[in-house]
Amino acid sequence: MSIRPPILLFICFQSELAVVERAPTSESYARVDYHPECEAAINEQINIEYNVSYVYHSLYAYFSRDNVALPGIAAFFKKESEEERHHAELLMDYQNLRGGRVKLQSIMMPEMEFSHPEKGEALYAFELALSLEKLNFQKLRALHEVAEKHGDSQMCDFVEGDLLADQADSVKEFAEFVSQLRRVGTGLGVFEFDRKLQA
């Protein structure tokens, strides 16, 4: 006698229900095929996003000083800091969605002085930021590779749709700012660049 599909479905449901009922309260009931390496990689990316946010917040404070006085650049880095923090929160929400555990790590103390005798502080800051954006892009691609390695198509979709495309745009934007600042030098051109960012 063959088992009819509705009965087969009910048997599968019963076995899943038994797993949920036996699970200790410290374990997630939402976790389904979420590899521990994927969970660890998400936690690492959360830490990267928070570290980049902290550096950008340091740049915001620096360019807000009365003896630096570049409010457009300051506001830009404040906005970027908030965006990186938002990315960290997206990753935390994703971790909880998949039944993982968020494990926050230490954040490194960033530089607080960004003056540079040859390049000027604006170019130096944007070159630093560009290198961070490129690093972040590489780390997101590595995160995607971990998801692919474990056949986690949902995580691949999340990284591609919510993070990688936005990060590629950021790399291009910062690269253009570095090019513009190299062109204008350290004098009045930086003041005009700052005004452009305020607009």
Detail the residues annotated as belonging to a binding site for Fe cation: 49, 84, 87, 133, 167
For residues 98 and 30, is the Cβ–Cβ distance under 8 A?
yes
Sequence letter at residue 65:
R
Task: Kindly tell me the burial class for residue 63, based on how many C-beta atoms sit within 10 Å of its own C-beta (0-12, 13-18, 19 or more).
Answer: buried
CA–CA distance, 133 with 123 (Å, rounded to integer): 15
Compute the distance between CA of residue 139 and CA of residue 49 in angstroms, rounded to an integer: 10
Rg of the chain over Cα atoms, rounded to whole angstroms, equals 23
Annotated binding-site ranges: 49, 84, 87, 133, 167
- Are the C-beta atoms of 41 and 49 separated by less than 8 Å? no
